[in-house]
Amino acid sequence: MTIKVFLVDDHGLFRAGVRAELERGAAGDPPLEIVGEAGSVDEAVAGIAHLKPDVVLLDVHMPDGGGAAVLARVRPAQPDVVFLALSVSDAAEDVIAVIRGGARGYVTKTISARELGDAVRRVEAGDPVFSPRLAGFVLDAFSDRPGAAPAVDPELDLLTKRERDVLRLLARGYAYKEIAGELFISVKTVETHVSSVLRKTQLSNRYELSRWASDRRLV
Amino acid sequence: MTSPAVPTREPLVRRRSGRLVAGVAGGVADHLGVNVLWVRAAFVVLAAVNGAGMLAYGLLWVFVRQEAADVTREVSAKERQQAMGLAALGIGIGLVGAALQNQIVGWIVGPLGVAAVGAAVVWREADEAQRRRWTTGARSGFLGGGRNAVLRVVAGGVFVAAGIAVFLLGNLNLGQVQFGVLVVLTTVVGIGVLTVPWWVRLARDFGEERRARIVTAERAEIAAHLHDSVLQTLALIQKQSHDPREVQRLARGQERELRHWLYGPQGYGRGGSTPALDESLASALQVAAAEIEDTYAITVNPVIVGDHPLDDGLRALVLAAREAMVNAAKHAQVDEVSVYAEVEPDEVNVFVRDRGKGFDPEDVPADRHGLADSVHGRMGRHGGTVRLRSTPGEGTEVHLAIPVLQEEKA
């Protein structure tokens, strides 16, 4: 089964670049096919509704609302479309906004063709994709610093020790397989931990994550 | 026939600097070549003669232009006091004299004197505002001089109004005054209503111009920045296009710089409001990573969780981490190095990792000082630890840990 990919980015040049990258990284298993692209929020919403792709590669920064606006308009109607955020911006604000908007992962545009292909396959299979930087942001947002709001719902507001270990290794640049080897657990378990971290990042109200992110616009 | 030798005199101008009221006395003194004190005294004496001194002063003020702006004079505190005293004396003598001499003259000159003082205050402020406008370029208007200026203008206005009111009440009966006031008020309101569009346009033009100026300044700033950084880099890249390593280095350096400008702590996007922790672990590590990128044309991605002000131990940690990055850049044969730093309550951990060719720690030649001295030695001296893990063919990871003092936590 081919994975149908849809590109959303307001820069035509960048779309062309990503398309070329993806076509180079498409020859894996399963193969990827770029079914369409869009340069604005409206175009993206219409295109996704019409073409029903499996994975949408979503630019974070766009006029008229950006990736978060696309997420807000597509997800209620098509909850089974998977979003992978792809951006040049590494600002915490943007990263956290698309993750909380429902994206399954976040990678930067400097990612290699092979890694981008792998990331698309991974999110399509239901697993999150965390770049080292995203892992760092999430660790930082959930860290216990003085003056932080108390955890209201431990189920959502706290990371387990194991999740922290996994995130740290992600931030250190380890791949899932390497993390599994490092912690003597299976790759499946690593994926479970990362999924749970993703869910907490999306749902927790602790530290008002979005505000945390905008307070910390470091790159 | 020869024309008689006429001594050249400066044309009469009012002093701009070194003046007390309007620079009239000083200007006359300059023109006649006598001491300014005598001129002021003469004005006071003349004031006693039916207020002629005051009238003369006022007329000179109105009709004589100010001197050029570039002359400066020093006025001693003593002279200033003297002149102020003389001015007060002159006004006093003029008013009292006039009031004593003749009831009607008193009624006219007295209130009008008050009005004149008020007008003098307002005009003086206008003079000053104008001067400021000339020097600072259209920044301030008539009331642009802050609270003091407003105060002065209002006080002056009250003087004028009071003077005119007393004059009118003293010379006319009430019915006439009522009529006069009514006429004046209706005229003022009429003029106000008639000129509403003009005021509105004036206000709008002013706002419009201000906005345009801000936008222009903003655009100029962005253009200047893009020119200095991005365009220069693009030109360099075109020249170096045969050397992929150099292109990569330039592009990466420019990207980092632009990112910092857009999103950094003092960057454009933040309005430059919040100053960064000047000497913090995060910024020091980022600087170190940037240096390695520039020097060795590789990509170093630092991910930093938490932050801490630098102390001696953390400085050693940053230097050791830098050395580890240098080693990775030199020996691992990779184009990417990951750096991860985490500040925990009692400890700071830094990991420098590459997926390069790796090595066997036992095989490092004895003359290689980099790792032994710079990393182990530095960390050891500050109570830190170094753990090294390297597998030939899979890469190397250096783990640096150092304890931090709790009370310094930022």
pLDDT tens for each residue of chain B, 410 residues long: 444 555 566 778 887 777 777 788 888 888 888 888 888 888 888 877 776 777 788 788 877 777 776 667 777 777 777 777 777 777 777 777 666 665 555 555 566 666 666 666 666 665 555 555 555 544 444 444 566 667 777 777 777 777 777 776 666 666 776 777 788 888 888 887 777 777 887 888 888 888 888 888 888 888 877 777 788 788 888 888 888 888 888 888 888 888 777 776 555 544 434 444 457 888 888 888 888 888 888 888 888 888 888 888 888 888 888 888 888 888 888 888 889 998 888 889 999 988 888 777 666 665 555 566 677 877 888 888 888 888 888 888 889 998 887 554 44
User: How many residues are present in chain A?
Assistant: 219
Q: Are strands A32-38 and B395-403 parallel, antiparallel or unpaired?
A: unpaired
Structure tokens that stand for B88 in this block: 């007060």
The verdict on a CB contact (< 8 Å) between B338 and A218 is: no
CB A201 within 8 A of CB A173: no
- Structure confidence at residue A13 (pLDDT): 83
Domain boundary among A102, A126, A150: A126
**Tokens found for residue B403:** 């304890």
Domain CATH code at residue A34:
3.40.50.2300
Say if the Cβ atoms of A173 and B353 lie within 8 Å: yes
Contacts with B396 (C-beta within 8 Å, 6 or more apart), sequence order: B327, B328, B332, B353, B354, B356, B358, B359, B388, B389, B390
CA A113, A115, A121, A123 torsion: positive or negative? negative
Mutate to test the interface with A, among B230, B259, B340, B398 (most CBs of A within 10 A): B340
Does residue A150 share a domain with residue A64? no
Per-residue buried b or exposed e for B388-409, using 16+ beta carbons within 10 Å of the residue's own CB: bebeeeebbbbbbbbebeeeee
Mean pLDDT rounded to a whole number for chain A: 81
What residues in B contact A143, CB-CB < 8 Å?
305-306
- The pLDDT of residue A184 is 92
Whether pLDDT at A156 is above 80: no
Which of B257, B298, B300, B305 to mutate to probe the A interface, most A CBs <10 Å?
B305
What distance in Å separates the CA atoms of residue A161 and residue A197, rounded to the nearest whole number? 11
Cβ pairs A/B, distance under 8 A: 53
Of B374, B259, B338, B136, the closest CA to residue A168 belongs to B338
Q: Which of A93, A126, A159 finishes a domain?
A: A126
A181: domain CATH number is 1.10.10.10
What is the reported pLDDT for B261? 78
Residue of B nearest to A134 (CA): B303
pTM of the predicted model, to two decimals?
0.57
Question: Using an 8 Å Cβ cutoff, are B281 and B310 in contact?
Answer: yes
For residue range A157-184, what is the model confidence (pLDDT) as tens digits? 778 888 888 988 988 888 888 899 889 9
Question: Is residue B378 a contact partner of residue B313, using CB atoms and an 8 Å limit?
Answer: no
DSSP secondary structure of B6-44: PPP-PPP-B-SSS-SSSSHHHHHHHHHTS-HHHHHHHHH
Contact A98, A106 (CB under 8 A): yes
Nearest-angstrom CA–CA distance, A170 and B39:
88
Closest-CA residue to A58 (of A70, A49, A75, A48): A70
Q: Given A145, A172, A218, which is nearest B340 (Cβ)? A: A172
Residue A131 has pLDDT above 80, yes or no: yes
């600097």: which residue's tokens?
B17
Amino acid symbol at B277: L
Tell me which fold the domain B278-408 belongs to.
Heat Shock Protein 90 (3.30.565)
**Residue B105: per-residue pLDDT:** 54
What local confidence, expressed as pLDDT, does residue B270 receive? 47
Give the Cβ contact number of residue B135 at 10 Å: 10
Tell if the CB–CB gap between A91 and B306 is shorter than 8 Å.
Answer: no
User: Which of A174, A152, A157 has its CA nearest to residue A165?
Assistant: A174
**Distance between first and last Cα of chain B:** 93
Same domain, A85 and A142: no
Query: Residue B270, by phi and psi: left (phi above 0), alpha (psi -120 to 50) or beta?
Result: alpha
**Residue B353 C-alpha, separation from nearest chain A C-alpha, in angstroms:** 7
Minimum-distance CB partner of A143 among B282, B306, B409: B306
Sheet with A3-8, edge to edge strand ranges: A32-38, A3-8, A55-58, A82-87, A105-108, A129-130
Output the pLDDT for position A213.
58
B10: left (phi over 0), alpha (psi -120 to 50) or beta: beta
CB B360 within 8 A of CB B397: no
Taking an 8 Å Cβ-Cβ cutoff, which residues of chain A contact chain B? 89-91, 110, 132-133, 135-136, 139-140, 143, 145-146, 168, 171-173, 217-219
Determine the Cα–Cα distance for residues B21 and B73; give it in Å rounded to an integer. 15
Say what the pLDDT of residue B274 is.
Answer: 41
- How far apart CA A165 and CA A178 sit, in angstroms, is 13
- Residues 6 or more apart whose CB falls under 8 angstroms from that of A16 comprise none
The b/e string for B242-264 (b: 16+ C-beta within 10 A; e otherwise) is eeeeebbbbebbbbbbbbbbebb
Q: What is the pLDDT of residue B351?
A: 92
Q: What are the beta bridge partners of residue A87?
A: A108
For residue A169, the distance in angstroms to the closest alpha carbon of chain B comes to 9
Among the three residues A91, A106, A126, which one is the final residue of a domain in this structure? A126
Amino acid present at B280 = S
A108 and A150 belong to one structural domain? no
State the CB neighbour count (10 A cutoff) for residue B350. 25
Same domain, A98 and A10: yes
Instruction: Give the pLDDT score at B152.
Output: 73
Which pair of structure tokens corresponds to residue B336?
């990417």
Contacts with B342 from chain A: Cβ below 8 Å:
139, 168, 171
Range of the domain at A175: 135-215
Looking at residue B242, the DSSP 8-state letter turns out to be T
With CB atoms and an 8 Å threshold, state whether B301 touches A146. Answer: no
- Mean pLDDT over A189-199 rounds to 89
Domain check: are A51 and A118 in the same one?
A: yes
pLDDT-based confidence at residue A148 (cuts at 50, 70, 90): low
Q: Which two tokens stand for residue A95?
A: 């990263």
Query: What pLDDT, on a 0 to 100 scale, did the predictor assign at position A185?
Result: 92
Q: Which chain A residues are Cβ-neighbours of B406 within 8 angstroms?
A: none
> What mean pLDDT do residues A149-161 have?
70
- Mark whether A92 and A148 lie in a shared domain: no
User: Predicted confidence band at A84 (pLDDT cuts at 50, 70, 90)?
Assistant: very high
User: Which residues from B are below 8 Å from A when comparing CB atoms?
Assistant: 259-260, 262-265, 269-270, 282, 299, 301, 303-306, 338, 340, 342, 351, 353, 355, 397, 409
Contacting residues for B251 by C-beta, under 8 A, at least 6 apart: B233, B237
Give A63's pLDDT tier (boundaries 50, 70, 90): confident
> Is residue A72 located within the same domain as residue A158?
no
3-state secondary structure of B340: strand
Per-residue confidence (pLDDT) for residue B257, from 0 to 100: 81
Q: Comparing C-alpha atoms, which of B252, B249, B280 is closest to residue B348?
A: B280
Query: In chain A, how many domains are there?
Result: 2
CB B13 within 8 A of CB B61: no
Single out the residue of A172, A144, A170 nearest to residue A158, CA to CA.
Answer: A144
Distance CA B324, CA B146 (A): 59
Q: What is the rounded (10 degree) CA torsion for B298, B261, B309, B409?
A: -110
Whether A156 and A54 map to the same domain: the answer is: no
- End-to-end alpha-carbon separation of chain A, Å? 38
Q: DSSP of chain A, one letter per residue?
A: -PEEEEEE-S-HHHHHHHHHHHHHTTSSSS-EEEEEEESSHHHHHHHHHHH--SEEEE-S--STTHHHHHHHHHTTT-TT-EEEEEES---HHHHHHHHHHT-SEEEETTS-HHHHHHHHHHHHTT--EE-HHHHHHHHHHHS--TTPPPPS-HHHH---HHHHHHHHHHHTT--HHHHHHHHT--HHHHHHHHHHHHHHHHH--GGGHHHHHHH----
Same domain, A162 and A85: no
Pick A17 or B134 by higher pLDDT: A17
**A53 prior amide bond cis, ω within 30:** no
Q: Give B-chain residues touching A91 at CB under 8 angstroms.
A: 263
Helix, strand or coil, per DSSP, at residue B142: coil
Task: Tell me the backbone φ, ψ of residue B344, rounded to 5 degrees.
Answer: -105, 165
Residue ranges per domain, chain B?
24-185, 195-268, 278-408
